[in-house]
Structure 1
Amino acid sequence: MRHKIFVPVLALLTLFVMGSCSSSKSASQNVKKKDIRGTWTVSSVSIEGLAAGTKIKTVAFDDVPYECFQGSQWYLPNSGFGTYNIASANCMTGERKINWSFRTKDGVNYFNFKKMDGVKRKDANDVDDGYRLVITDITDNGFIAKSPVVFEGKTIYFVYNFVKG
Structure 2
Amino acid sequence: MKRIYLLAVLVMAVTLWSCSSTKKLQKGTLKGNWTVTSARIEGVTGNAQLKTTAFDDVPVECFNGSQWSLPNNGFGTYNITSAGNGCMAGERRIVWSVRTINGIDYFNFKKMDGVKNSKAHQVEDGYSLEVTSVGDGAFTARSPIAFEGRTIYIVYNFVKQ
TM-score of the pair, normalised by structure 1:
0.81
- How many residues align? The count is 140
> For 2:124 and 2:37, how far apart are their aligned partners in 1?
29
8 Å contact kept, 1:33–1:101: yes
- Give 5+ residue unaligned stretches, structure 2: 1-19
1:1-165 pair list within 5 angstroms: 29-90=23-84, 91-165=87-161
- 1:24-64: CA deviation from partner (whole Å, max 9, x where unpaired): xx898332110011000000112111112111111000000
Residue by residue, what CA displacement relative to the aligned partner does 1:111-165 show, whole Å, maximum 9, x if unpaired? 0000000001111000000000000000121000001111222111000000001
SS at match of 2:128: strand
Q: Do 1:102 and 1:112's aligned partners in 2 also have CA atoms closer than 8 Å?
A: yes
CA radius of gyration, larger in: 1
Provide the rounded CA distance (Å) in 2 between the counterparts of 1:160 and 1:57: 16
Detail structure 1 runs of 4+ shifted over 4 Å in the superposition: none
Match of 1:9 in 2: none
Q: Rate the CA distance shift 1:56–1:97 in 2: closer, same or farther, 3 A.
A: same
Structure 1 unpaired stretches of 5+: 1-25
Please state whether the residue corresponding to 1:41 is helix, strand or coil: strand
Aligned-partner SS, 2:69: strand
- The one-letter amino acid paired with 1:138 is V
> C-alpha distance in 1, partners of 2:97/2:136?
18
Residue type at the aligned position of 2:25? V
Other-structure match for 2:6: none
- Compute the displacement of 1:84 (Å): 0.1
Aligned-residue identity in percent: 59
2: CA distance, partners of 1:147 / 1:27: 22
Please give the secondary structure, in 2, of the residue aligned with 1:67: helix
The verdict on how the C-alpha distance between 1:82 and 1:46 changes in structure 2, with shifts beyond 3 A counting, is same
Shift of residue 85, structure 1, vs aligned partner: 0.1
* Alignment-derived partner of residue 18 in structure 1: none
Task: Evaluate the alpha carbon distance shift between residue 81 and residue 151 of structure 1 in structure 2; reply closer, same or farther with a 3 A threshold.
Answer: same
Q: How far apart in 2 are the matches of 1:27 and 1:38?
A: 26
Q: Closer, same or farther in 2 for the Cα pair 1:40/1:27, shift >3 Å?
A: farther
Structure 2 CA distance for partners of 1:28 and 1:73, relative to 1, 3 Å: farther
What is the TM-score when the length of structure 2 is the normalising length?
A: 0.83
